[in-house]
Amino acid sequence: MNRFFIIIILFTITIISCSSEEKKIVNPILAGFYPDPSICKVGGDYYIVNSTFAYFPGIPVFHSKDLVNWKLIGHVLDRPEQLNLDGFGVSRAIFAPAIRYSNGKFYVTCTLVDGGGNFIVSADKPEGPWSNLTWLPEINGIDPSLFFDDDGRTYITYNSDAPDNKPLYSGHRTVRMVEFDIVNMKVISEPIILINGGVDISTKPVWIEGPHIYKINGKYFLTAAEGGTAEDHSQVILRSDKVNGPYIPYDKNPILTQRHLDPNRKFPVTCAGHADFVQTNDGNWWSVFLACRPHNGNYYTGRETFLAPVKWIDGWPVINPEFEEIQFYYPLPIYPLSEKVDIPYSGNFTIRDEFDTDILHPSWIFLRTPHEKWHYSNSKKGFLSIKLKPETVAGKMNPGFIARRQQHNKGFASTSVLFNPLSENEKAGLIVFLNETCFYYICKSIVDGKEVVQLYRSLDKPQSDDEMELINQFEIPEEKINEKINLKIETDGDYYSFYYSFEKEDWKFIGKMDASFLRVQIPRDFTGCVFGMYATSLGKPVNNTAYYDWFEYNGNDDMYK
């Protein structure tokens, strides 16, 4: 057993053959809710960051030496004084970080939407600690990205309003640039417009965003997403002889999209865009970008991080040029592979956490910022204890909720909880959660003095104090009330099925619910589904604790079989 997790079954992680010639990467390289990737390289090390919205800690930092095996080494925003998420909606707050490196320092620029706006942080090491936020009030927009020119000057590009804040059509935006003093961390110029609308404003392109600039062979390349982050998403490229333009678009744009393909194709990948480029030591180029694996139409468990090769064609970088469809497998970008990481993030796998260490694995996340300690890994040996909190997942504060991402359309999450409720508002169990009004919850509680297992569905429009409706419940036999109860949520892509059991007993079915209720709908949802341990007192202060013995996650999607 490694320090945090036991990997029980490994159907496919990142290598699908024992022959070096047949080894391949598996897409997505970061499955589940890992959108808006940005990548940088330092020597032989690669780092990716992603958007986290209203989840804490904010902005994961992944490390790899081969672009295949990724390890979560920390988070950029992991202290309450850096990131107070009280009151933010689930799909608001932390949008589109960009990571860059220069002169011995790492930098991340990002946007706190509905909060303080754009900011920059820095660190000597990618695992942190990262600095507190330096706000950039002069930058009016989202998706800031640093560019370090070879003459020592630094710039920030970003998505901003239409010229004079007078859009010609809905979704009319610009890409702007300011010069930045990286030593004193301040903007030192007025913004200039690099792109107005998109590569061809006569076609009324929407949401030019996520811009990055690179200098390659004496030319400046500006890449950005276009078309919005749903099915019309794409990536475009422009080129200039000067950093401040003019930027001329590639006449075969977009360089990446899936919007023109048959939506009924087998195992589709959609919503591709928001790309960033990286060059390996052997001179080859690759791109990370977000995309989705829909199930039964345009429903997603989340927006994920994919990797694809880049080929230079007539002086332009083109992503995935050998195929129309984004592939689930590509040849290895770097060989030999590095050692396996602690837990997998791609392919099919099963992982189990026994909660037998003092520190939670960094892949566990919270809803908004925990300002006080309410969970412990050592108060009861071999258990993770969660104090019941009055805050709920339907509100906009920090509930007693610890989750991990759902990374597959098919699979299950299960846990075992020791809990004795004292009143009907006290509940502890397992939740599958998308947002404040889209979740299912199986839990242990008490009704009329009898302990019960209950299944709830959230209300689309909460009424007064009612945030969820009871779907089903079963009374727990008296001889079982002091035992651990095992809870499981299983999904086949179309439905979530809910089960409970006691030690050495078979699973008992309690209900089956429509999975489309919890599918990501862009632009309503920028996050994705998560499975969580959730203990609540539904708005009332209590003194009770739920003890979780273990948590298991299984993912087994058909495209990897």
- Cα–Cα dist 519/438, whole Å: 9
Averaged pLDDT for residues 325-348: 93
Averaged pLDDT for residues 175-186: 98
User: Which residues make Cβ contacts (< 8 Å) with residue 218, sequence separation at least 6?
Assistant: none
What confidence tens digit (pLDDT) does each residue in 199-233 have?
Answer: 999 999 999 999 999 999 999 999 999 999 999 99
What confidence tens digit (pLDDT) does each residue in 432-473 have?
Answer: 999 999 999 999 999 999 999 999 999 987 655 679 999 999
Averaged pLDDT for residues 46-71: 97
Q: Are 392 and 539 in contact (CB under 8 A)?
A: yes
Look at residue 12 and tell me whether its pLDDT is greater than 60. Answer: no
Look at residue 175 and tell me whether its pLDDT is greater than 70. Answer: yes
What's the confidence (pLDDT) of residue 463?
A: 54
For the chain, the residue count is 561
Averaged pLDDT for residues 108-131: 98
- Cα–Cα dist 254/319, whole Å: 9
* Structure tokens given for 314: 């007539």
Q: Supply the pTM of this predicted model.
A: 0.94
What's the confidence (pLDDT) of residue 464?
A: 53
Look at residue 81 and tell me whether its pLDDT is greater than 90. Answer: yes
Domain boundaries, the chain: 6-331, 349-560
- Cα–Cα dist 118/370, whole Å: 23
What's the confidence (pLDDT) of residue 7?
A: 38
| Residue 462 main-chain phi, psi, to 5 deg | -55, 135
What's the confidence (pLDDT) of residue 48?
A: 98
CATH superfamily of 6-331: Glycosyl hydrolase domain; family 43 (2.115.10.20)
- Cα–Cα dist 347/345, whole Å: 7
Averaged pLDDT for residues 297-304: 85
What's the confidence (pLDDT) of residue 297?
A: 75
pLDDT band at 520 (very low <50, low <70, confident <90, very high): confident
For the beta sheet containing 304-313, the strands, ordered from the edge strand earlier in sequence to the opposite edge, are: 270-279, 285-292, 304-313, 316-319
What confidence tens digit (pLDDT) does each residue in 128-159 have?
Answer: 999 999 999 999 999 999 999 999 999 999 99
Q: How many percent of the chain have pLDDT more than 70?
A: 95
Mean pLDDT (the chain) is 93
- Cα–Cα dist 446/209, whole Å: 50
What confidence tens digit (pLDDT) does each residue in 367-419 have?
Answer: 999 999 999 987 788 899 999 999 999 999 999 999 999 999 999 999 999 99
Look at residue 6 and tell me whether its pLDDT is greater than 80. Answer: no
What's the confidence (pLDDT) of residue 380?
A: 82
pLDDT band at 13 (very low <50, low <70, confident <90, very high): very low
Looking at the annotation, which residues are catalytic? 36, 209
Look at residue 4 and tell me whether its pLDDT is greater than 80. Answer: no
Look at residue 298 and tell me whether its pLDDT is greater than 80. Answer: no
Q: Tell me, which fold does domain 349-560 have in CATH?
A: Jelly Rolls (2.60.120)
Q: Are 70 and 63 in contact (CB under 8 A)?
A: yes
What's the confidence (pLDDT) of residue 8?
A: 39
User: Which residues make Cβ contacts (< 8 Å) with residue 548, sequence separation at least 6?
Assistant: 355, 383, 384, 385, 386, 415, 416, 417, 418, 533
Q: Are 442 and 453 in contact (CB under 8 A)?
A: yes
